[in-house]
């Protein structure tokens, strides 16, 4: 259920994306702060500060970037860190920027170093020197860029070099959503899809969505399939429960990687403490993936604790796996 989005899902996601800050559900503080930044910029007829959004995937970073452009009535240009491997890639993008544009850079922490340096000059001075050629014949051609706004998205703000991070005037950390917010997101999506969903069903889907709107919408889609094929098309509590059980969605929303990490932690390492690198090897994943995707959610649920000596499973984690915790397991 946590895999990357395919083309069908992308179309589905776009159809459900909130278009304005008022339509955005949850993240009240971020919404209020951002509204202020944008309103002030509009009132002064200036481009707003650059915005950095950080948080796990599926929490609304792309959505917010689109909303920023929409509220400013500005065109949005989309790119991503992995697409900018050379400073020249970025120079090409910057040379096409018009005044007031919003440039969204997803996975901004994955740009190459030289591109990062070029970007922070552009963000600061709206002017960069593009080096053409190599060796003694190389020349620097100044490129003037009209005022524009960068919206950067990253899974972890800490992965960005300090000088680049400092160029963002507004930084927002998105956190996992509360079940009540996810319930509202499911109901909003159901309305847009013309799907009848009972209140206890939307609450059930919301609470099994791993704190993540993208997953809430994804589960709603699975439940809709089930309702259409095995029931009369409407989603009541029994239909929602049966569909989610069929797809083996954990009642707390844990996905395969979350469960693998907990499993390894308890079964292979006796509940820890164990280093993150060792833990990642045990689940055959990159350290970053475990650190950025699984860990924050497990910490949030109170299943995993980070200690100076390594990661430790709490008593609640043992219980969730249906195992009895060894004496002395944290609570």
177 assigned to a ligand binding site:
yes
61 catalytic residue (yes or no): yes
Judged by CB under 6 A, the chain residues 87 through 126 that form the site for ligand ADP are none
In angstroms, what is the minimal distance from the CB of 64 to ligand ADP?
A: 7
277 catalytic residue (yes or no): no
134 catalytic residue (yes or no): no
Give me the catalytic one of 155, 181, 187, 314: 155
Give me the catalytic one of 165, 188, 210, 214: 214
Does 187 participate in binding ligand ADP (rule CB under 6 A)? no
Residue 140's beta-bridge partner residues?
131
User: Could you tell me which residues come within 8 angstroms of residue 164 by beta carbon, excluding any fewer than 6 positions away?
Assistant: 108, 116, 119, 120
Which residue's entry shows tokens 């239909």? 239
Report yes or no: 63 and 17 within 8 Å, Cβ to Cβ: yes
For ligand ADP, which is the closer residue by CB, 79 or 278?
A: 79
Instruction: Identify the DSSP state of 178.
Output: P
Q: Where are the beta strands (DSSP E) in 69-126?
A: 76-80, 102-106
Collapsed DSSP state (helix, strand, coil) of residue 241: helix
Q: 2, 21, 25, 203: which one contacts ligand ADP (CB under 6 A)?
A: 25
Q: What mask, x for binding ligand ADP by CB under 6 A, covers residues 193 to 222? A: --------------------xx--x-----
First-to-last C-alpha distance (Å) of the chain:
29
Distance of alpha carbon 289 from alpha carbon 272, whole angstroms: 19
Choices 15-23, 97-105, 111-119, 262-270 (CB under 6 A): range interacting with ligand ADP = 15-23
Does 24 participate in binding ligand ADP (rule CB under 6 A)? yes
Q: 67, 68, 160, 185: which one contacts ligand ADP (CB under 6 A)?
A: 185
Q: What angle do CA 65, 4, 318 make, to 5 degrees?
A: 105
For ligand ADP, which is the closer residue by CB, 149 or 155?
A: 155
Report yes or no: 217 and 188 within 8 Å, Cβ to Cβ: no
Binding interface with ligand ADP (CB under 6 A) = 13, 16-18, 24-27, 57-63, 153, 185, 213-214, 217
């Amino acid at each position: 259920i946590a895999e990357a989005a395919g083309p069908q899902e992308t179309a589905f996601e776009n159809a459900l994306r909130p278009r304005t800050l008022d339509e955005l559900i949850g993240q009240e503080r971020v919404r209020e702060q951002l509204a202020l930044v944008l309103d002030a910029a509009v009132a002064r007829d200036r481009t707003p500060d650059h915005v950095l959004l950080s948080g796990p995937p599926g929490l609304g970073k792309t959505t917010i970037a689109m909303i920023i452009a929409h509220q400013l009535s500005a065109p949005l240009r989309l790119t991503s860190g992995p697409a900018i491997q050379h400073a020249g890639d970025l120079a090409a993008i910057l040379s096409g920027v018009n005044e007031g544009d919003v440039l969204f850079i997803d996975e901004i922490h994955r740009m190459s170093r030289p591109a990062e340096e070029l970007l922070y000059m552009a963000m600061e001075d709206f002017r960069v020197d593009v080096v053409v050629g190599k060796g003694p014949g190389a020349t620097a051609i100044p490129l003037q860029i009209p005022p524009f706004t960068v919206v950067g998205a990253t899974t972890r703000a800490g992965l960005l070099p300090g000088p680049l991070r400092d160029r963002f005037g507004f930084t927002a950390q998105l956190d996992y959503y509360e079940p009540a917010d996810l319930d509202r997101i499911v109901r909003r999506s159901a309305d847009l899809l013309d799907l009848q969903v009972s209140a206890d069903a939307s609450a059930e889907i919301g609470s099994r969505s791993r704190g993540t709107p993208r997953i809430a919408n994804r589960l709603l889609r699975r439940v809709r399939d089930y309702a259409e094929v095995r029931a009369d098309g409407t989603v009541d509590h029994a239909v929602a429960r049966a569909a989610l059980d069929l797809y083996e969605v954990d009642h707390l929303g844990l996905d395969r990687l979350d469960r693998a990490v907990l499993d390894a932690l308890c079964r292979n390492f006796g509940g820890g403490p164990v280093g993150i690198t060792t833990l990642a090897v045990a689940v055959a994943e990159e350290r970053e993936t475990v650190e950025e995707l699984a860990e924050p959610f497990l910490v949030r649920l109170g299943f995993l604790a980070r200690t100076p000596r390594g990661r430790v499973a709490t008593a609640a984690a043992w219980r969730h796996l249906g195992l009895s915790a060894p004496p002395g397991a944290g609570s």
